[in-house]
Chains A and B, each alone.
Chain A
Amino acid sequence: MHAEAIDPRTVRWVLNDAHLTPGKLHLDWEHVEAAWCEVSAIWVRLDEPLWPQLGRDIARRLSELVRTGVLFTSPDPQVVHLVAEHILGAELGDYFRSHGGQVELRGSGPDWVEVSLSGACHSCPAAVLTLQGRIAVALRNRLGEPVEVRKVA
């Protein structure tokens, strides 16, 4: 597994061949404010930016948890929001920018997201392809369930 920094308090731990149940993850660990699961990643948010000190330890414990399969998750629409933002920002952000456009998250629910297209994306003939081909597929891969992508103004 490896770590991807989201913000100073949040790290997304990418697991190679895990298959977790997406949702809110219940971790009763010191300094852990909240945690969520994707299909093969775990998000951990600390109450303070203590990752340099706690990182290794948390990594080991997470790895142990995944190995033993003891993960308690409950469905949480917050996960959809987090993952969608990550896809639009970190994963596809550079791609949109290189085309001169922008796609922003406007809202999300348990099985849907709403995005707005601006810049070159606004009138792009391939917009549907992007929305369904790229974004929706990425969401499905990471959340395990189909997620509807709706375009709003």
Chain B
Amino acid sequence: MSDPLAELVARCQEGDVAAFRELVQKTQDEVYNLAYRVLGNSQEAEDIVQEVYLRVWRALPGFRGEARFSSWLYRITLNACLNRRRELRTQLHVLDAEEALEQLAAPAHENPVELAIEHERKASLWRAVSRLPRKYRLVLTMFYQQQLSYKEIAEHLALPLGTVKAHLNRARRALAGLLRRKREKKSEDKDVAV
């Protein structure tokens, strides 16, 4: 399969700064989102994005196009995030998850009240993802947000395919378990109120 960014990358390799700007514009959302999901902090994610693109700028002349540019960029981003996370260890706070979610606007719907309730339920699930163990959060991000296949995730994380699927399934079950406990708690609160 041909790389849609191949032509742009070729221009960047010639030192075309304007082409590099276009490349950053096309890919920065993916890079930022991955960094944010791994590190859970917007400031750290911004620093990582800058570091990643500096590395890419320096290493582009040596990029031979054997893999797709997006895969190469993804690998650099992941390595940078995991290294940074190791440095920061427990200092990272997941401060911004709720902030970012509050910025989401609910689309128009016939029954806005029901929609708002449903949206809030989903938002609480998305917040719950940020509390899952890192390995589950990472595979969820790569599968659902970066739209990578199981095979691609296995290659990026150097894990067996079965392990990737197992992580995803355990993450899904963990989230379903949270949902079950929340509903049980709600029905208990209703019983108490009555």
Do A and B come together as binding partners? no
User: Interface of A with B (CB < 8 Å)?
Assistant: none
User: Interface of B with A (CB < 8 Å)?
Assistant: none
